[in-house]
Amino acid sequence: MSENKNYILQSEQLAKRYENDRQHYFKLEEFIAISDYYVLINNYKNALEVNNTAQIFYPSSFELKTIKADLYIRNNEFEKAEKVIKNIEHNSDVITDVFVLRGEICIKKNQYKSAEKFFDKAIELSDDKDITIEMICDFLMIMHQISLAKKYLELAQKIIRDINPDLMYWLAKCYECELEYRKAANIYEKMTEINPFDENIWDELGDIYMLLSEYEKAIKAFDLRLAVSSENAQETLINKAECISVLGKNNEAIKIYNKILDFEKENIDALFGIAKCYEREKIYDIAEKLYLDIVSQNPDYVDAYYSLATIYSQRNEFKIAEQFMRKTLNDIEIIPAFLTQMGKILLQQNKIKEAEQTMEKFIHSDSCKYDYQAWLLYAEIIALDDIDKGIEILETKYNESFYSIAEVCYHLAYYHFLNNNLSQSVIYIERSLELDADMMKSFFELCPEAMLNEQIMNVYLSYKTKK
Amino acid sequence: MLNIIKKIVGNKILENRISKIKRQKGFCNISTMKSVGILFENTGSTYLMANKMMKFFLARKIKISAIAFEDTKDVEVESRKHVPSYIKIFTKSDLTWYGKPNCEDVNKFMTQKFDVLIDMSRSSEYVYRYISTLSTAKFKIGGLQYKNDPFDLILLEHSNETTKFVSLIINFLSTIKVQN
């Protein structure tokens, strides 16, 4: 991880030098580093310009040509990319790269099956499989093709003995994106065994334990991170305090937050943490005052608006809650939990059409792609008016991303039951039982009349007997 | 003194009206019922719970009609903007001097032959008693037992929490079998 950071820093410095002095002599790898830097900041035009300059100095470099084709693809200039590829494909040294590039073009054109074929071939022919997989996954991650990236990273884990830590890190990130937190935690644990002095991985491990609600383990990970290095550790301390607070030790958590504030008076996250502690202690008046202080200091602090909306919702003051929630929704970045909360507040006020429109506007954003709670609410709102459409929406998402989420499965079983499609309902109940049988209770809460249904009860009881 | 007179007059009127009510009794559960009438007091938290229950019925395509009493005289129009059309709200200004509801929505509600009437008020106050008693619903569910209560079924929820009362009603209607 730190090697990666160093590379980025060096690339940035080289890029600055390049911008100030175009006549400066650069080695081939330095040109490539500069180009990499521009790719990192999504400036493909500059990256291409660097590549052109580099080709003047190193006209026979196939590596530069491969990079050029890659840049054209990323910039959606497929014809130009094809031309470059045709120029280099006769060279057996770059045959692997050619397959990767062709796969990339297919991904850009949404031809996923063909892309997989090219990538598979590239890996098969490659002598440096980790480098090839890294190239493929770097592109797939940028293109948000998480499932496919995960497939190749899992393959890398199987076939490469000393796997590059970057690939392990990416795999963990893919698992996080697909809500497979346990698997992500396993990877981070392995990474801390390989390099126990990497503070970033301890932070990642602590964060993932938080997502798994394993707060004691998270605290341990954060403590080890602080033991490795106490530099730039405010965020770690804040996360640790948050875990302590969730475990109910709010006084202890407030002490940590105050310690942070002693060093950095303006640390608004620490102030927010203190407010959250009061909220958890149900001392709403103080929490409310602190949240209002936070938004007056920083009107963009959306978490504070969200918390204020939660407090007002609890007091059944939905109109004010809605006003605060509106400040958390913007076109640039949507936090799925905020969208869900907004939808619920609108529903509480029976503003069904408005709830539908708000959800519709934001639900298709990348950040909501894997948030099943937001999709469940969206489907619920749609189903109020048109149950078939609600089912269609949820079923599509289930097949795309939520195949392993029991709650989605139970909801589909419920909607099919309401829609008098018992056979389909039973299929989803069977799948849900496989995923998480304890959640059957939630299904019966949604659909108590299913307890009178012989077929459903037979499925449930035969599952219980088998277990 | 005036309160006692109000009570006497109110009870007398109610007694007279009961004898004129023609009501066909019957029982159905969630799978067989086609319509439901809901009576509740329009306070913030009760409204939310009634809303929750109505969504449950709506999802099952059961026709809903609800009437809510609000213990105020002035009505804030803005707050009614998003109230669904199947909920009618009446206030103190819709009551006669002795407490009888005197508005078209309530009269209509009482004459609708719902499969089930749910009185969520859990109160023996005259306004609720009047509507529940004179409703022509086939099956009446309430949450409070009192002298001459009109209910066919009383579901007692001792914690007094509306959430639990609503769950009790939903569970009862969902899990009770109806013999053909």
Per-residue tokens: B131: 């509507």
Query: Which residues partner with B65 through β-bridges?
Result: B37
Q: Identify the pLDDT of residue A403.
A: 87
Identify from A318, A320, A350, A391 which residue to disrupt to test chain B contact, counting B C-beta atoms within 10 A and taking the largest count.
A350
Which of the listed CATH numbers 2.60.40, 3.40.50, 1.10.10, 3.10.20 matches domain B2-175? 3.40.50
- Closest alpha carbon within chain B to A387: B59
Q: What is the pLDDT of residues A355-409, one digit of tens each?
A: 999 999 999 988 888 899 999 999 999 998 899 999 999 999 999 888 889 999 9
List, as ranges, residues 370-399 from A with C-beta within 8 Å of B.
383-384, 387
What type of residue is A48? L
> Please, are residues A362 and A329 in contact by the beta-carbon 8 Å criterion?
yes
Identify from A391, A452, A456, A457 which residue to disrupt to test chain B contact, counting B C-beta atoms within 10 A and taking the largest count.
A452
* pLDDT at A411 exceeding the cut of 70: yes
Using the beta-carbon criterion (under 8 Å), do A449 and B55 form an inter-chain contact? no
Mean pLDDT along residues A333-338 = 85
B48 neighbourhood in chain A, CB within 8 Å = 316, 348
Long-range contacts, stretch A281-286, CB < 8 angstroms, 24+ apart:
A281/A250, A284/A311, A284/A314, A284/A315
In SS3 terms, A242-309 reads as: HHHHHCCCHHHHHHHHHHHHHHCCCCHHHHHHHHHHHHHCCCHHHHHHHHHHHHHHCCCCHHHHHHHH
Q: Identify the pLDDT of residue B111.
A: 93
Q: What is the pLDDT of residues A120-173, one digit of tens each?
A: 999 999 988 888 998 899 899 888 889 899 999 999 988 887 788 889 999 999
- Reported ipTM: the value is 0.81
Residue at token pair 């937050």: A257
Q: In this predicted structure, which of A144-158, A215-229, B10-24 has the lowest mean pLDDT?
A: B10-24
DSSP state of A452: G
Q: Identify the pLDDT of residue A71.
A: 92
* pLDDT at B75 exceeding the cut of 90: no
Using the beta-carbon criterion (under 8 Å), do B175 and A449 form an inter-chain contact? yes
Distance, CA of B88 to CA of B106 (rounded, Å):
8
> Please, are residues A157 and A189 in contact by the beta-carbon 8 Å criterion?
no
Q: What is the pLDDT of residues A11-33, one digit of tens each?
A: 989 999 888 887 778 899 999 99
The number of beta carbons lying within 10 Å of the beta carbon of residue A162 is: 7
B45 neighbourhood in chain A, CB within 8 Å = 316
Q: What is the pLDDT of residues A173-188, one digit of tens each?
A: 999 988 899 999 999 9
Q: Across chain A, how many H-helices and E-strands are there?
A: 27, 0
Using the beta-carbon criterion (under 8 Å), do B59 and A418 form an inter-chain contact? yes
Residue A375 makes CB contacts below 8 A (sequence gap 6+) with A363, A368, A393, A394, A397, A402, A408
Q: What is the pLDDT of residues B86-127, one digit of tens each?
A: 999 999 899 988 888 989 999 999 999 999 999 999 898 999
Identify from B164, B174, B176 which residue to disrupt to test chain A contact, counting A C-beta atoms within 10 A and taking the largest count.
B174
Per-residue tokens: A173: 């990130």
The length of chain B, given as a count of residues: 180
B51 neighbourhood in chain A, CB within 8 Å = 348, 350
A384 neighbourhood in chain B, CB within 8 Å = 55, 58-59
**B129 or B14, which is more confident:** B129
Mean pLDDT along residues B144-150 = 87
Percentage with pLDDT > 70 across chain A: 99
Using the beta-carbon criterion (under 8 Å), do A448 and B58 form an inter-chain contact? no
Query: Which candidate from B29, B59, B83 shows the least CB-CB separation from A350?
Result: B83
Per-residue tokens: A348: 């509480």
Cα atoms in the 13 Å half-sphere on the side-chain side of A385: 8
What count of CB pairs under 8 Å joins A to B? 35
- Closest alpha carbon within chain B to A317: B44
Identify from A348, A389, A391, A457 which residue to disrupt to test chain B contact, counting B C-beta atoms within 10 A and taking the largest count.
A348
* pLDDT at A331 exceeding the cut of 70: no
> Please, are residues A411 and A379 in contact by the beta-carbon 8 Å criterion?
yes
Q: Identify the pLDDT of residue A24.
A: 77
Distance, CA of A395 to CA of A209 (rounded, Å):
30
List, as ranges, residues 306-325 from A with C-beta within 8 Å of B.
316
Q: Identify the pLDDT of residue A1.
A: 47
Query: Which candidate from A316, A349, A448 shows the least CB-CB separation from B171?
Result: A448
List, as ranges, residues 206-235 from A with C-beta within 8 Å of B.
none
pTM flag (> 0.80): no
pLDDT tier at B22, thresholds 50, 70, 90: confident
Q: In this predicted structure, which of A424-433, B13-22, B104-113, B135-144 has the lowest mean pLDDT?
A: B13-22
- The answer to whether residue A350 neighbours chain B at the CB level (below 8 Å) is yes
- Closest alpha carbon within chain B to A444: B171
Q: Identify the pLDDT of residue A426.
A: 96
pLDDT tier at A60, thresholds 50, 70, 90: confident
* pLDDT at B78 exceeding the cut of 70: no
pLDDT tier at A317, thresholds 50, 70, 90: confident
* pLDDT at B43 exceeding the cut of 90: no
Return the domain boundaries, chain B. Answer: 2-175
**B74 or A55, which is more confident:** A55
Q: How far is B5 from chain A (nearest CA, A)?
A: 38
Instruction: Quote the mean pLDDT of chain A.
Output: 91
Q: How far is B8 from chain A (nearest CA, A)?
A: 38
Query: Which candidate from B48, B84, B171 shows the least CB-CB separation from A316?
Result: B48
